[in-house]
Structure 1
């Protein structure tokens, strides 16, 4: 079996969506002839932990967890002291490109040891954090191994990152070095691939799109829901750009006007930062962060699943990792996003739900239509399973293994 040195800062027991892509690749790569050798960090760097995810790590997988002085490990203490903004400032101003840079440097002895012991044929790095790619750049220069760099999100063009004056240009230069030095670039959507290609400054590094997906082991096909309430479920978090304001306004208006009785509708939200965005009153139910293994049961008792995205054109390349699990869960999706977003395109292609803009009036109309269909026990949902199955994690991992095989010479 061939071996790949797999650099993944976010790895179980880390929880949240950032861990899923790496974890599922590692789960299915051995069946395709590739043994991952994992370089990650220690658990104290993870503000959200989900130990249940460790069941997907193949037995015997070598895992190196180099200890380091890590800015991210300070986050819980700063948050407890209500100094979250100070932590963010330290992370931005003094840790380039991000708080994991000290980990990336401290990991070098572990990398040397792993290469000496396991003799990998390929190096794979995934971001964020982007420091993982700087570790990959060092490995490429030091050992000359073929290198695949995976971008789960944009880097210098990431709108969620507040760069002080001049810092975006610094990150752009680091990004360009990675793009020009890697042997193959992988990312999650065509718009992000195009953005990365435009940043290459004349280099011709191949770029492949391998989107996120769903694991059939995690999302069994659910039977149509029979619920005592019209139940809409959201899993994930909100941000300053991904806001549920229009949804809250629409639902509140429907309930206050009596168009939907308060005891006949429930919005269930499972995530880590809901209080800043969601009222603490019916029909809103906030569950906080749930382990990934509990989400399927939550979807089982849902009439619809909710997707909320940043509506700006700069976000058109973001699918949202949860979308693929939503599609596999066999529930209609209410997607509040830009109509030109790749997620909106996929929902239309798969007939997986309905896409609306961040317009309370439009959202009200759609919710009322679905509520009446639910009342009549006539919520129709016939997605295109042939398209959805293309996003299964085993199939997507096979595409990554093909890239590894090409770089390793067959």
Structure 2
């Protein structure tokens, strides 16, 4: 069997989208002639924890781990909430305190590429003999955090082993990178390390076509697009147990940069103009919500029709998706986010409920929604057509006819995606 060592920071009990990708690949790789082994930190600082995911780790999976030093433990002295936000990339654009500005400057300029850099050397020392003993054929590093790729870089230089770098998100072009208050020297260092990884690895995996086009300008190495996906059989889903109210649900983090004022205006107007809509409409927010978003909901008089659930387990999130009348997907309105495809989109597909997408123009995720006939997409300036769409869906809801007939979504199943990955590992 072809042996692959996967080096990742996020692993159960970590919660959030970062853990799902390789947890699912590991689950299905053995079916495709590949034996995965996993290397993780022993004492990580995860901003979100979901212990229920421990049950999804295959019982016979060989997992290696070593201790990691993370300065976020020191930052927590100034406040655990702020330390978790900085750790997870939750960076406010406005109203930053002096302490937040200082922590961001330290993170961006002293810990390059990120605060997990202190794990690189110990991981190299620990993994070098394991690669030889286990006769590993391929190593895969997955980031962010991008310091994980520097572990792969060091190992490839000393072992000449095949190394594949998996980028779940871009590096220097991701939206929060500009908020790190980087000096000119720090910016150059980030770009230098990014280029070194892109040009030194044997192959690259990215999650969007946009990122592939971006990286093709920096390297001649082969780049494969393997998106995230869903892990449920579509044929088993049935339209039963739906919310009795006209629920519009956003599952996941809705930070202050993702604040679709056009949507709140449209909802506010419908609440004032249509009594039935006011009686039956429910905005459901499941996950972390930014203060500016909550303030906007208050300003537009939507809070009485809003349910804020906070963070829930992954299984609970899926249940919310499947019960919702309409699913909301929102992305930051910027050029840097055009290639961002949120992991929840694929589980939205699997839920087979209409998707309302609001994001930047030329948004790759928006194109996927349209191409799959899974919903509709608007930009941040469109209000009237969005309002009309909500009213149209509401009328269909009243007639018990609200549904979606999506197409070609089976290709996003975790099984199909793992087969695609295995083909790249074994046959090319």
CA contact (8 A) 1:347 1:354 kept: yes
Shift of 1:250: 2.4
Shift of 1:381: 1.6
Give the aligned partner of residue 404 of structure 1.
Answer: 425
Structure 1 distance, partners of 2:249, 2:263, is: 12
Residues 136-168 of structure 1: CA deviation (Å, up to 9, x unaligned): 100100111000001111111112222413222
Give the aligned partner of residue 193 of structure 1.
Answer: 212
CA contact (8 A) 1:78 1:87 kept: no
**Matches of residues 323-338 of structure 1 in structure 2 within 5 Å?**
323-338=345-360
- Unaligned residue ranges in structure 2 (runs of 5+): 87-99
**Matches of residues 4-403 of structure 1 in structure 2 within 5 Å?**
4-74=4-74, 78-80=78-80, 85=100, 86-161=102-177, 162-163=179-180, 164-166=182-184, 167-200=186-219, 204-216=220-232, 221-223=237-239, 226-258=242-274, 261-278=277-294, 279=297, 281-358=303-380, 359-384=382-407, 387-403=408-424
Structure 2 distance, partners of 1:295, 1:107, is: 34
Question: Any idea what SS the aligned residue of 2:6 has?
Answer: strand
Structure 2 distance, partners of 1:69, 1:235, is: 32
Shift of 1:208: 0.7
Question: Any idea what SS the aligned residue of 1:282 has?
Answer: helix
Shift of 1:300: 2.9
Shift of 1:240: 4.4
Question: Any idea what SS the aligned residue of 1:29 has?
Answer: helix
CA contact (8 A) 2:6 2:38 kept: yes
CA contact (8 A) 1:36 1:61 kept: yes
Task: Assess, with a 3 A threshold, how the Cα gap between structure 1 residues 219 and 308 changes in structure 2: closer, same or farther.
Answer: farther
Residues 318-363 of structure 1: CA deviation (Å, up to 9, x unaligned): 1211111101111010111235211111111111011112233332
- Unaligned residue ranges in structure 1 (runs of 5+): none
Structure 1 distance, partners of 2:258, 2:387, is: 19
Range moving further from structure 2, 305-314 or 10-19: 305-314
CA contact (8 A) 2:166 2:204 kept: yes
Residues 109-135 of structure 1: CA deviation (Å, up to 9, x unaligned): 331243243221001001100101111
Report the number of matched residues: 402
Shift of 1:293: 1.0
Structure 2 distance, partners of 1:236, 1:308, is: 10
CA contact (8 A) 1:4 1:122 kept: yes
CA contact (8 A) 1:10 1:19 kept: yes
Structure 2 distance, partners of 1:318, 1:210, is: 13
Task: Assess, with a 3 A threshold, how the Cα gap between structure 1 residues 354 and 76 changes in structure 2: closer, same or farther.
Answer: farther
Structure 1 distance, partners of 2:346, 2:365, is: 9
Shift of 1:43: 4.6
CA contact (8 A) 1:219 1:296 kept: no
CA contact (8 A) 1:14 1:43 kept: no
C-alpha RMSD of the superposition: 2.2
Structure 2 distance, partners of 1:44, 1:287, is: 26
Range moving further from structure 2, 251-260 or 338-347: 251-260
Structure 2 distance, partners of 1:321, 1:37, is: 24
Task: Assess, with a 3 A threshold, how the Cα gap between structure 1 residues 294 and 75 changes in structure 2: closer, same or farther.
Answer: farther
Output the TM-score relative to the length of structure 2. 0.88
Range moving further from structure 2, 181-190 or 361-370: 361-370
